[in-house]
Chains A and B, each alone.
Chain A
Amino acid sequence: MEADDESTGQMIDEIYANGGDPPSRPVISGEQLDVEAYAALYSGRTKIVRLLFIAERCGGGAMELESLRMAYDEIKKGENTQLFREVVQRIDGRLGPEYGPDPAWAVAVDRRAEQRKEKLENELNAYRTNLIKESIRMGYNDFGDFYYTHGLLGDAFKNYVRTRDYCTTGKHITHMCLNAILVSIEMGQFTHVSSYVSKAEQNSQNSDSLDTITAAKLRCAAGIAYLEAKKYKLAARKFLETSPELGNNYSEVIAAQDNKVIDNINFRNFLELVPEVRELIHDFYSSHYASCLDYLGSLKANLLLDIHLHDHVETLYEQIRSKALIQYTHPFLSVDLHMMANAFKTTVAGLEKELEALITDNQIQARIDSHNKILYARHADQRNATFQRVLQTGNEFDRDVRAMLLRANLIKHDYNQKSLRKV
């Protein structure tokens, strides 16, 4: 376990350095995520949500309890009583008496919250009667913050959005957008995310340009939104844009904007999908497919624990594998299936099935000689294909035009009928 933790740390460091040259890393299978190190990268509400998510995914065992414990501690620092009750229920007394339900704390927090809410309301009303835009904005903003800490995301979102009418400078609008994005990501409303990202970007075009950190934040948010919408290529591009600026400010972004470290691993995956090859991927493309796939397989466990990525891991992995297969076959005129199966650590029959699927999808131009187990590249005869296409197009044109003439005649007829009736 110790060694595993180390490598995770190393991995995160590397991402931290933002995708520089990867040190040659031994492939470790079944590496487990160190919950503590992972959680340390996040702050605020995200940390709790992520911990809970890990707990849910791990389903029993030490990791679940460990993450629940940390979540409990974290919640205690904040004021979200609703989430607190939920966690307590999940812990269910398994962590000893000090992690039981703490009604006194909860009541106290609730009471404080009640008072604070009243105070905020009074303040807001006062601002409103005075009609000072800036103050009203602040008032709504405070309300948003308040709801956010108490876990009422919908209300928080509403209040953040309300500040919009009272924004006077570009900075305010950006601020509002960032708040709204943050809340919508938590709520899982990714259409909001993308719309507010575009709003913020528009705004930045109008007024002074954004500072790099904000820009990076926005790109990250957009990336996540794309990811959820299954637009992997766009998401990859967004993450790609993000990375250079993130360099020094990375930790701040993590803390402030709840960016996901793991996304950069994802980012590397994307690079493998997108044919923009970097040094990083040269390693991958230098045909150590089996080891690469193994490595990816070992990462899978961790990726599955990521709150945003878990839904997409399977699809992405499939795509990476297909990409690798296509890359492998591309340079050859004929490939011995036995050797290829070895390279991909699979059986000949299984490989044949995979290839068949790819050929059917027209992703590999080749045909399989299943008798001799050889894959032959197939080069279409351009001349013949052109002839074929020309004749086909001609026939289609013929058919379509005649059908059109007929329809035109029918319409004409109809029109004549009507005009006759009128007369």
Chain B
Amino acid sequence: MVKMNSLEALVAQIQGLSGNSSDIHQLHGHLKQSDQFLYSESTRLAPVLTQLDPAKHSLGYLYLLEAVTSAPFSKERANELVVVVARFINACTAKQIRLAPDKFISVCRRFKDQVMLLEAPMRAVAPLLTAIQKLQPSTEHLTTLHPDFLLVCLSTKCYKTGLHLLEDNISEVDQPRDFFLYCYYGGMICIGQKHFGKALELLHNVVTAPMSTLSAIAVEAYKKYILVSLIHLGQFTTSFPKYTSSAAQRSLKNYCQPYLELANSYSTGKISELQTFVQMNRDKFVVDTNLGLVKQVVSSVYKRNIQRLTQTYLTLSLQDIANTVQLSSPKEAEMHVLQMIQDGEIYAAINQKDGMVRFLEDPEQYKTCEMIEHVDSSIQRMMALSKKLTAMDEKMSCDPSYVSKAGRERQRFDFDDFDGVPQRFNL
């Protein structure tokens, strides 16, 4: 046992025991023991860091860095530290830092906070992404850093980078709070990129997630969910799916009254009513910083109404379109129709000579190779998913705590019906 009271000895140890994995485990034990000592020495540690190689001695470096960042420091110092941490995140070995995820997360957190204080969130985008990739065992794992990263993306408007991360399908979650924030920020990023379908999915996850008490995140998510649902689907059903937690079902609607009224007003399809309603409740939407979305909701009414026309009419004059969807002039109607044709939302052709619009059917015939490939890949995806589901189910039914719980409940409910069922599992 080496004495831990001198910094030099510790550094020497770190340098010596960073080779193979058994050494590292031994080192980890030493480091844990000297945690207190490191905190007390935190002000003197910074120069020591230069003696270590962040790639080779990642674990030791991480412990020292954590101690360094735990102490308060000045703004100039912060600037230097940000650089050091960023370099460390880029260089460190994933295998070593995963031994002390808590330390790594807290370093990254402080890094993010400092960057925010310095008002340069851009500097955190790339390092945090790397940090996430190094920290997570697989892309299916949600780490505590996910929400932080998404928040940074939001504040720098790097929606695309954020979106990239959101494409990984998360299924392993440790902290419910991380999950809520991840979905909420993720939803906002998707809204920013106008991927409303994905946004809806993420927000829906927040609203329907199991929770015992209602969280503010869920309330905000529900507000956005209502709005996005109106924009994307053109409708909103106030009923919750049955797996929604009772806490959410009970009280979520009480907090979102103006939004529910907005949805009601939307369903009438009358643009003027909707506009007056929005005008009247403008302040509430501004406070929630949802005014932009609300405006998109209003403009989506036009689209919705024009889309409805394509179902009923084969040809229709621009004048009639303008009248039906309450646009002021045929010119404006033309702009809307044109935009929608461009976005692939309707299939139509405008005859400018006599001002008629001819609505066409969806030209997709499902005959092309691309389409077949697309269908095939979908089928593959479904099969993989369903396999995963079965595996999960099997795992669940072998889980000791599940089996004992299920066994207990069975005993309570149908004592007589199941004589073959073991009545107690002593696991």
- A interface, CB within 8 angstroms of B: 355-356, 359-360, 367-372, 376, 381, 383-384, 387, 390-391, 394-395, 397-399, 401-411, 413-416, 419
Min CB distance, A132 to chain B, in Å? 47
Q: How far is the CB of A84 from chain B (nearest CB, A)?
A: 49
**With contact pairs A369-B315, A370-B316, A394-B378 given, residues A405 and B171 touching in the complex (Cβ less than 8 Å):** yes
Name the A residues within 8 Å of B205 (CB-CB): 403, 406
- CB 8 Å contact bits of B337-371 with A (1 = contact, 0 = none): 00000000000000000001001011011100001
In the complex, the chain A residue whose C-beta lies closest to that of B204 is A403
Q: Which residue of chain A has its CB nearest to the CB of B374? A: A391
Cβ–Cβ < 8 Å partners of A411 in chain B: 210
Is B365 touching A384 in the complex (CB atoms < 8 A)? yes
Residue pairs across A and B with Cβ atoms less than 8 A apart, 23 shown, are A359-B312, A360-B312, A369-B315, A370-B313, A370-B316, A370-B320, A372-B315, A376-B314, A384-B364, A387-B366, A391-B374, A394-B379, A394-B382, A398-B381, A399-B201, A402-B171, A406-B173, A409-B172, A410-B210, A411-B210, A413-B174, A414-B210, A416-B401
Instruction: Rank and list the top 4 A-B pairs by shortest CB-CB distance, nearest first.
Output: A371-B315, A387-B366, A369-B314, A359-B312
Q: Which residue of B lies closest to A371 (CB)?
A: B315
Q: Do B388 and A405 have beta carbons less than 8 Å apart?
A: yes
Cβ of A375 to closest chain B Cβ, rounded Å: 9
Taking a contact as CB atoms under 8 Å apart, the answer to whether B209 and A359 are in contact is no
Q: A394-B379, A405-B171, A409-B172 are in contact. Are A371 and B356 (CB under 8 A)?
A: yes
Contact A409 B208 (CB under 8 A): no
> What 0/1 pattern do residues 183 to 207 of B give for CB contact below 8 A with A?
0000000000000000001001100
Query: Would you call B243 and A407 a contact (CB within 8 A)?
Result: yes
A399 CA to B199 CA, complexed, in Å: 12
Give the nearest-CB partner of B173 in chain A: A409
Q: How far is the CB of A368 from chain B (nearest CB, A)?
A: 5
Contact in complex: A405, B382 (CB < 8 Å): no
Chain B interfacial residues counted at CB < 8 A: 46
On whether the beta carbons of A367 and B171 are closer than 8 Å, the reply is no
Given contacts A387-B375, A406-B173, contact A360 B311 (CB under 8 A): yes
Assembly CA distance A409 to B173 (angstroms)? 6
User: CB < 8 Å: which of B208, B308, B311, B366 contacts A384?
Assistant: B366
Cβ of B317 within 8 Å of any chain A Cβ, yes or no, is: yes
Contacts of B379 in A (CB 8 A): 394
B399 to chain A, nearest CB (A): 8
B311 proximity list for chain A (CB < 8 A): 359-360, 367
B401: nearest chain-A partner, CB-CB: A419
Given contacts A376-B314, A391-B378, contact A408 B392 (CB under 8 A): yes
Chain A's closest residue to B381 (CB) is: A398
Residue of A nearest to B171 (CB): A405
**Chain B residues closer than 8 Å to A368, beta-carbon distance:** 312-314
Binding site for A on B (CB under 8 A): 169-176, 179, 201, 204-205, 208-210, 243, 308, 311-317, 320, 356, 359, 361-362, 364-366, 371, 374-375, 378-379, 381-382, 385-386, 388-389, 392, 396, 401
Q: How far is the CA of A141 from the CA of B366 in the complex (A)?
A: 74
Q: Can you name the residue of chain B whose Cβ is closest to the Cβ of A397? A: B382
Min Cβ gap A360→B in Å is: 6
Shortest beta-carbon distance from B258 to chain A in Å: 27
- A19 to B: closest C-beta gap in Å: 38
Q: Pick the contact of A402: B359, B385, B401 (CB < 8 A).
A: B385
B173 lies within 8 A of A410 (CB):
yes
Contact B389 A405 (CB under 8 A): yes
| Residues in B whose Cβ lies below 8 Å from that of A408 | 392, 396
The reply to whether B362 and A384 contact each other, CB–CB distance below 8 Å, is yes
Of the candidates A355, A356, A367, the one whose C-beta lies within 8 Å of that of B314 is A367
B382 in contact with A371 (CB, 8 Å)? no
A367, A381, A394, A397, most chain B CB atoms within 10 A: A367
Which residues of B are found within 8 Å of A401, using beta-carbon distances? 385-386, 389
Are A367 and B312 closer than 8 Å at their CB atoms?
Answer: yes
Q: With a CB–CB cut-off of 8 A, which chain A residues contact B175? A: 413
Q: Within the assembled complex, what's the spacing in Å between the Cα atoms of A360 and B311?
A: 7
Enumerate chain A residues within 8 angstroms of B365, measured Cβ to Cβ: 384
Q: How far is the CA of A383 from the CA of B176 in the complex (A)?
A: 44
Bound-complex Cα distance A387 to B170 (A):
28
Given A369-B314, A406-B171, A406-B209, 20 more A-B residue pairs with CB atoms under 8 Å apart are A367-B313, A367-B359, A368-B313, A370-B316, A370-B320, A376-B314, A383-B366, A384-B366, A387-B371, A387-B375, A390-B375, A391-B374, A394-B382, A402-B169, A405-B171, A405-B388, A406-B170, A408-B392, A415-B401, A416-B401
With both chains docked as a complex, state the minimum distance between the C-beta of B360 and any C-beta of chain A, in angstroms: 11
* Interface-centre pick from B169, B315, B364 (highest chain A CB count, 10 A): B315
Residue among B312, B359, B378 with max Cβ neighbours from chain A (10 Å): B312
- Find chain B residues with CB under 8 A from A381 CB: 361
Are the C-beta atoms of B314 and A407 separated by less than 8 Å? no
Complex contact B315–A407 (CB within 8 A) = no
Which residue of chain B has its CB nearest to the CB of A418? B401
Q: How far is the CA of A369 from the CA of B315 in the complex (A)?
A: 5
Residue ID in chain B nearest A355 by CB atoms = B312
- Complex CA–CA separation, A407 to B173 (angstroms): 9
User: Are the CB atoms of A413 and B176 closer together than 8 Å?
Assistant: yes
Nearest B residue to A408 via CB reads: B392
A384 vs B175: C-alpha distance when bound (angstroms): 44
Given A359-B311, A387-B366, A398-B381: A407 and B316 within 8 A (CB)?
A: no
CA distance A355 to B389 in the complex (A): 47
Among residues of A, the one whose C-beta sits closest to the C-beta of B244 is A407
Nearest CB in chain B to that of A381: its residue: B361
Query: How many Å from the CB of A391 to the closest CB on chain B?
Result: 6
Which residues of B have CB within 8 Å of A407? 208-210, 243
Contacts of B375 in A (CB 8 A): 387, 390-391
